[in-house]
Structure 1
Amino acid sequence: MNGQKSPHIAVVGAGIVGVSCALHLQRLGASVTMIDRQQPGGIAAASYGNAGVLARCAVVPVATPGILLKAPAMLFASDGPLFMRWSYLPHLLSWLIPYIRSSSRKKVEYIVRNLIPLLFDSVDEHRALARGTDAERWLRACEYLYLYANRDAFERDAFGWGLRREHGFEWDTLQGESIREFDPALSKKYEFAVLLKDYGMIANPGNYVSDLAKGFAAAGGEVVRADIKRVDTRHDGVVLKADDRDIKADKVVIAAGAWSHKLAAKLGANVPLESERGYHLELLHANKQPSVPVMDAARKCVITPMQGSLRLGGVIEFGGLDAPASKGPLKLLLRAARAVLPGLEYETKRDWMGHRPATADSLPVIGPAPSSCQVYFAYGHQHVGLTAGPKTGRVVAQHMMGLQQNVDLDAYRCDRFS
């Protein structure tokens, strides 16, 4: 910092994005305090419940051309991956309208171009982030398999796969018994598969984030339990207001996931944000596991062999931050697992529901607040937060510390809906 005193930066949020920001800022010389209502890696964080796949291919948003025609089938089919709490629909409309507008071909191509820099090199970014911490033990190199009923089903997804190929993704295809030769545990009902190589996974996302935070603390970082209600900017820094204390810093990063907009809106951000309620079901002592993480492409369910368990993750539900978990998504996850792995049995199960922060254009909010250069935002990663967290943290840290970097933040501006 050219002889200047290291800045004191507060990071609000201790999920994967917040921890990534805190670690990268610390490694660039800042004095960092990380603040959350719960311990890092805790059960309420979206990264805790992630399916664990570093899904660098997840650059195509859910809302693509024709979404209005596809949505009824996704909602009402017995195995549809989309769920809605209908009493919440009136509240959702202000977000849903710009969300649907973002499904045009031109807009989707724009979204893909701007998710690529955050996702494409995610495996390397995670390795760099975890290096030197106990979190390294949870990282695994792996392949990633998309299962389709047949080639026709795959070709109905041609738009998304075409965009991936255009941006440098490569894969092999498997048909018929070659799928079972790859993994004998997989059902014969699936006659076509896409095999993506050079991927990675996290064998326990909650423990991974917790170990990253322990590495941050061991290197001198401060971890504080507090519920930040407001951020006040002043000429000499910022003051974070909690119920029982004030926390002062030179700058602050808002990385509180689905709760970020409550702070960000007071600081000039106008990006429509909703909770994309995500579910997972963890099967303990299962008698079958796939050899690699598997996506049931029709049900949008991911089946991941984790350390000591089989995790079933995915589906989308809209119902806000306050409603309790629904039973339908959990039942769908179990049906998907039994379809993929015939004869699946297990001893016990654990379920989880959490809140993934979804913007109306499927792009995160990254960069400074319009009202103050002392405040930076890093939230809104919908279902790719675990994958994109380390790169987001690196980009935010470089910007805040005045370093040159090669990711243009224009697409992630917090005032882009103005």
Structure 2
Amino acid sequence: MTETSTERSGPLTDLRVIELGQLVAGPFCGQMFADMGADVIKVEPPGQGDPLREWGRDGFPLWWSVCARGKRCITLNLRTEEGQGLLKQLVSEADFLVENFRPGTLEKWGLGYEELKKVNPGLIMIRVSGYGQTGPYSSRPGYASVGEAMGGVRYLMGEPDRKPSRAGISLGDSLAGLFSAFGALAALHHREKTGEGQMIDTSIYESVLAFMEGLVPEYQFEDYTRERSGSVLPSIAPSNIYDGRDGMVIIAANQPTVFARLCKAIGQPDLKDDPRFNTHAGRGENMAELDAIINEWTSSRTIDEIEAEMVEAAVPVGKVFRASDMLEDPHYKARQSLVEVPSERWPGILQQNIVPRLTGTPGKIRWAGPDRLGQHTADVLTDLLELTPEQVEKLKQSGIV
């Protein structure tokens, strides 16, 4: 099965997105549009392409097939006048343009928002950057790791006795892409009422900051600074990772009624009345003692045994999953949380399914990211811009595409 064997489906099939971004934040935004049926045309520089094409373990750049799924990929040299002209032609028939270059880059090429809205007043331009389009830091290069640090999450991640850790994923980039897609659809709603396009200014650090709960007002009014706390939340107990005989499991029972059920399930019903643990504050203050009691009970049992007893007692419980667990889990299978995606290079590849699920107009992953750089250049230029094959070949010979 190839990209031409299935039609786009979902709520956004009447929309077109021009994606100029590379690596993660902009392309993740584009991925969500493609998942929901939009025609996403990814523009890459000739001969180079998105660096994400090569990311991964040696010989296995598999992330590309997730982030580029469902997109048509073309090449276009935006540093040339002719390349800029071709982009403007594409933009004139597009609904969105998403980019995550350093602020000022597109303006240098004559492709800033003020220029592009001249050819398409209804254009919604999605701009993702480390620090935003304005402010004293706007011209700085900004990767997700820096945005996570400035947004506050990096300081809180890890154990308290060592330097902050990281999530092991590009968290800041993904959050910025998510907020960008949300903002773009809000702008689309506005355009449907007024006909006006607008610019979406998403910074990575503010996308992280938006997830930081009450961090700032807690400091403002209580003079309280959150610190790293490892696998627990301060004063919230029991809610931790516990050892089983064959893995790790999370048990969360900090609510009084749930805690009482947990005590009964582990054979210590009187524990709920123990002065150390009979209040929310007490359980938080004596977290280490309580966790030790629970871990003693879990460590003699398998994860399946722990889950069965906790589920029977209506206590929230969950295995700490790795990829191998996801492939075997019956709930994953029943909900098709992982789906097989058509791919020439990686036959049978499984990828995370579309989130969220729409009951009336669900999206569909039609194919994994195209392997060849510029794989759809000729199709897009001939179909959308009505160039002849001879004109496309001339553009190739001149290095424009």
TM class by shorter chain equals: under 0.3
Q: What TM-score do you get using the length of structure 2 for normalisation?
A: 0.27
Q: Highest relative contact order (Cα 8 Å, sep 6+), 1 or 2?
A: 1
More helix by share: 2
Alignment TM-score, normalising by the size of structure 1: 0.26
Larger radius of gyration: 2
